[in-house]
Amino acid sequence: MNILESKIQTLTVFFDPRCSTYSHPGHPERPERVILTVERLSRQQHLPIIWLQPDLVSKTAALKAHHQSHYEALSSTTSDFDEDTPYYPGIHDHALRAAGGALGAMKVALSGKPAFSLMRPPGHHALPERAMGFCYLNSMAIAVLEALRLGAKKVAVIDFDVHHGNGTEAILHGCPGVMFASVHQSPCYPGSGLAHRSPNIFNYPVPPESMPAVYREAFAEALARLTAFDPDLVGVSAGFDAYRLDPLAQQHLEKDDYHWIGTQIKALSRPVFGVLEGGYSEDLGQLVEAFLLGWCGGSNQGYR
């Protein structure tokens, strides 16, 4: 580690290799996403990382965000949830473990240290009543509702995945002490997130084929809204599919843009936890590394 990087914060990363043990042929949400990212983060020498295995989230915590019928369907159903969201043996536990990663990261953040959950499946499309868009349980929303239970007074979520975080919005809409801001491409899956929704939902749609500066500007606007809310805890739904080589959308972000997003998160100077959402390019590991380095005070040279 060189002297210029001596102020880098140590990051706690939640990961369990069991989250890479299920797959569906041809599905973009595949085990290599996390396997290659873990390999990359383990090899790099710029960011000190403490690795922890998450616990499964409790049924009580999951039911704060989801209907009982959906919770039970995760263990009883053996058919696909929708055309994007396959049934997998053990998906109930996989989803509970991913939510446990978010919960673990949230608790570390409450103690004043940055933490990231590097788990799959992602969560931000999961609705109260059903799985959707590769997502089974809404890990971020579950973590936010638990944070409130543990005494957080104001919690803000910012979601920079290229797809609108419709599930998180549905769960957190109208929730006292919470705000949600999403920056995403529109038109794009899932088709929602076109406007703000009173009292606590702020959507920043960006047209397809926008230049990175446009995505950055929308992100900065969302962060300004978040800062005005003055939260004592921030959750980041970190999706990396606005990258120029991502196969699922039409944005043009570069690795340096993800480093910049990280620096903006750091500049909030508040307790922050992050959760991996989407990101389907082969460069995902580098994008995650760039974001984490920016967030923890590392230079934009570390991930090259």
Identify which of residues 56 and 238 has a Cβ nearer to Zn ion in the complex: 238
- Applying CB under 5 A, does 241 fall inside the site for Zn ion? yes
Answer yes or no whether residue 278 interacts with Zn ion by CB under 5 A: yes
User: Quick one: tokens of 50?
Assistant: 């403490």
Q: Rounded to 5 degrees, what are φ and ψ at 3?
A: -65, -30
* Residue 125 annotated among the catalytic residues of the structure: yes
User: Using an 8 Å Cβ cutoff, are 111 and 173 in contact?
Assistant: no
Residue 16 interacting with Zn ion (CB under 5 A): no
Is 274:258 a contact under the CB 8 Å cutoff?
no
Where helices occur in 77-189 by DSSP H, the ranges are: 91-110, 139-149, 166-172
Is position 94 an interface residue for Zn ion (rule: CB under 5 A)?
Answer: no
**Measured at CB, which residue is nearest to Zn ion?**
278
Beta bridge partners of 179: 156
Residue 193 or 298 with smaller CB distance to Zn ion: 193
Q: Which of 5, 29, 146, 161 binds Zn ion (CB under 5 A)?
A: 161
Site membership for Zn ion, residue 100 (CB under 5 A): no
- Choose which of 94, 97, 120, 163 interacts with Zn ion (CB under 5 A): 163
125, 163, 184, 259: the active-site residue? 125
Gyration radius of the chain over CA positions: 17
Query: CA of 90: how far to CAs of 80, 250, 255, in Å?
Result: 13, 33, 34
- Judged by CB under 5 A, the stretch of 96-104, 139-147, 190-198, 276-284 that binds Zn ion is 276-284
Q: Does 164 bind Zn ion (CB under 5 A)?
A: no
**Which residues are catalytically annotated?**
125
